[in-house]
Chains A and B, each alone.
Chain A
Amino acid sequence: EVQVVESGGGLVQPGGSLRLSCAASGFIFSDHYMDWVRQAPGKGLEWVGRTRNKANSYITEYAASVKGRFTISRDDSKNSLSLQMNSLKTEDTAVYYCARGGSGSSLDFWGQGTLVTVSS
């Protein structure tokens, strides 16, 4: 059974940092692109970024709103994905989802999300 489980969310002050993790199981992690998507309270889905797989040189791509502040990394030996978030702003408050890349640019399996609250 395919599973992705996020962890690491919490309350952080503006300007602070937080690292989210995503543990994957039930599939060949190294074959897949992996994405982070967020959802602010009561709002729609917003793409954060993704890491391509080894065959595509682990290239990372980011939304303009987080580029330069957030870093996505992966460890294929541990089936894990991370999101390092620096210089956090109140507008980064959201549920952060880890999702597996599927056919084309689709996301075919999602975790349940972890809540990040940026507030003083």
Chain B
Amino acid sequence: SYVLTQPPSMSVAPGKTARITCGGNNIGSKSVHWYQQKPGQAPVLVIYYDSDRPSGIPDRFSGSNSGNTATLTISRVEAGDEADYYCQVWDNSSDHKVFGGGTKLTVL
């Protein structure tokens, strides 16, 4: 089955840029979606189709996808961005939706 690999955690200072990676075999050929989940809350879609933002998501959030790595970039990080972030794809070979293990972003 298809596996998505994310770093378990990362930290960034306020105002800096956070880049959260999602690794998968030839993930560049798939559409990647990203979710933000704050403690005790449901996940929220922040990026779909690799780099599109749903309405209401700040333009500080952006995404890219190429080769074996997709990246969620959060610019000018704020304290409110502290959350778990998950990448997700659809695996056509198994007809399964696959989530990465999640990255806990800490704002210093």
A-to-B contact residues, CB < 8 Å: 35, 37, 44-47, 50, 61, 63-64, 97, 102-108, 110-113
Contacts and interface: CB of A to CB of B under 8 A. Distances in A.
Interface size class of B (residues with CB under 8 A): 20 to 34
A45 B86 contact: yes
A64 B99 CA distance: 14
A102 B37 CA distance: 18
A35 B97 contact: yes
A61 B102 contact: no
Contacts of B31: 104-105
Contact of A110 (B43, B90, B98, B100): B43
Interface of B: 1, 31, 33, 35, 37, 41-45, 48-49, 52, 54, 84, 86, 88-90, 95-102
A94 to B, nearest CB: 13
